[in-house]
């Protein structure tokens, strides 16, 4: 997508090198809240952009997961002195998704579960026309396959039942799969700051129905146990975060999973709606 000069990029790696994990969590929640009024774009590929440093143009790289904002910049500029935002000085093409803060009515039952996992209050809103999918389910729920099918094009599915068999609380490192999926790059950025996380992992991991396994790809592991799957373009979480590091990882996965490709009909509809809202502010 083409971005004009003066758009601001919040580099993901800068957030983690200048903020504590708890501060990063609250920054991301603030950006999610803003996304109801202004478009919040997520970089899906690394790229090189032009900025100005001491009045000299410089080419600088931005990573996958970096966030781009072009409207109502005064709202995010208060963070920029600390996070070292990048202001574009030339038009640039960045491969992005747009974050969607809207979910369908069925997903509303899962907001409380997600907020409990993150120990946050995410400002997600139910809409009937423009939305993405948030699903939650027991491991062997009879509706598991239909919920997995819901998120194939985009969305997030949580395994959450407290009585499901857990491993003991783990303090461990996460191993990425050999994949080019964007979440692998996002995890690597986070793991360079803190490679150790605390979480609970479901013991029973063989949940993907056989008919959907060709669409599934394990992305992150603890030992041989998959923590995160891709299912088509959607994401499945197989753990509960405990520490601030694993909550940050979970929130970044949520932001990725609840974003829409800007070239799809739903992504285009969201763009039109949010731009119309931002103009009216």
CATH code at 217? 3.40.50
By C-alpha distance, which of 173, 176, 237 is closest to 202?
A: 237
Contact of 153 with 130, CB cutoff 8 Å? no
% of the chain with per-residue pLDDT over 90? 48
pTM of the model: 0.91
Dihedral sign (CA 221, 228, 29, 51):
positive
Q: Are 78 and 121 part of one and the same domain? A: no
Provide mean pLDDT across the span 54-66.
Answer: 93
Average predicted confidence (pLDDT) for the chain: 87
Distance CA 92, CA 96 (A): 12
Assess whether 121 and 244 both reside in one domain: yes
Q: Which domain holds residue 41?
A: 2-99+263-280
Helices (H), the chain: 12-18, 21-34, 74-83, 108-118, 144-150, 182-193, 244-257, 265-280
Residues 262 and 268: beta-carbon distance below 8 Å = yes
> Same structural domain for residues 91 and 110?
no
119 and 253 co-located in one domain: yes
Question: Is the pLDDT confidence value at 237 over 60?
Answer: yes
Query: Could you give the CA distance from residue 35 to residue 183 in angstroms, rounded to a whole number?
Result: 21
Q: What was the pLDDT predicted at 47?
A: 94
CB of 98 closer than 8 Å to CB of 40: yes
Residues 206-220, mean pLDDT to the nearest whole number: 85
Tokens of 68: 């781009």
Whether the pLDDT of residue 242 is over 90: the answer is: no
Pair 123, 252 in one domain: yes
Query: How many C-beta neighbours within 10 Å does residue 81 have?
Result: 9
**Both tokens of residue 186?**
């996002």
User: Domain tally for the chain?
Assistant: 2
DSSP 144: H
Same domain, 46 and 27: yes
Note whether 170 and 183 are same-domain residues: yes
Same domain, 178 and 250: yes
Cα separations (Å) of 3 from 38, 80, 266?
A: 14, 19, 20
User: Based on the domain organization, do 123 and 60 belong to the same domain?
Assistant: no
pLDDT at position 145, please? 84
192 CB-contact burial (10 Å; exposed 0-12 / middle 13-18 / buried 19+):
exposed
pLDDT value for 212: 87
Q: Is the pLDDT of residue 208 over 70?
A: yes
- Which residue is it, tokens 């423009």? 130
Q: Are residues 107 and 153 in the same domain?
A: yes
Q: Is the pLDDT of residue 102 over 90?
A: yes
pLDDT digits (tens, 9 = 90+) for 120-132: 899 999 998 899 9
> pLDDT for 139-174, tens place per residue?
556 678 888 899 999 999 998 665 555 555 678 889
Do the beta carbons of residue 31 and residue 23 sit within 8 Å?
Answer: no
The three-state DSSP-derived secondary structure of 169-228 is CEEEECEECCCCCHHHHHHHHHHHHCCEEEEEEECCCCCCCHHHHHHEEEEEEECCEEEE
Residue carrying the six token digits 């996380």: 197
pLDDT at 255 over 70: yes
């Amino acid at each position: 997508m083409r971005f004009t000069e003066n758009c601001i990029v919040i580099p993901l790696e800068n957030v983690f090198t200048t903020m504590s994990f708890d501060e990063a969590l609250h920054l991301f929640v603030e950006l999610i809240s803003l996304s109801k009024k202004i478009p919040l774009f997520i970089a899906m590929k690394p790229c090189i952009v032009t900025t100005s440093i001491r009045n000299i143009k410089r080419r600088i790289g931005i990573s996958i997961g970096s966030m781009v904002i072009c409207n109502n910049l005064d709202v995010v500029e208060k963070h920029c002195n600390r996070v070292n935002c990048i202001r574009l000085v030339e038009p640039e093409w960045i491969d992005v998704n747009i974050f969607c803060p809207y979910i369908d009515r069925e997903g509303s039952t899962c907001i409380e579960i997600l907020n409990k996992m993150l120990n946050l209050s995410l400002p997600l809103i139910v809409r009937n026309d423009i939305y993405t999918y948030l699903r939650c389910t027991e491991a062997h729920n009879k509706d598991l396959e239909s919920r997995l099918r819901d998120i194939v094009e985009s969305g997030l599915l949580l395994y959450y039942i407290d009585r499901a068999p857990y491993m003991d609380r783990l303090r461990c490192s996460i191993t990425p799969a050999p994949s080019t999926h964007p979440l692998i790059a996002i995890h690597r950025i986070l793991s360079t700051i803190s490679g150790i996380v605390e979480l609970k992992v479901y013991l029973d991991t063989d949940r993907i129905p056989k008919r959907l396994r060709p669409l599934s790809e394990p992305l992150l592991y603890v030992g041989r146990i998959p923590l995160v799957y891709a299912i088509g373009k959607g994401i499945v979480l197989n753990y509960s975060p405990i520490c601030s590091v694993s909550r940050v990882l979970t929130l970044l996965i949520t932001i990725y999973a609840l974003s829409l490709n800007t070239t799809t009909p739903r992504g285009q509809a969201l763009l039109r709606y949010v731009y119309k809202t931002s103009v009216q502010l």
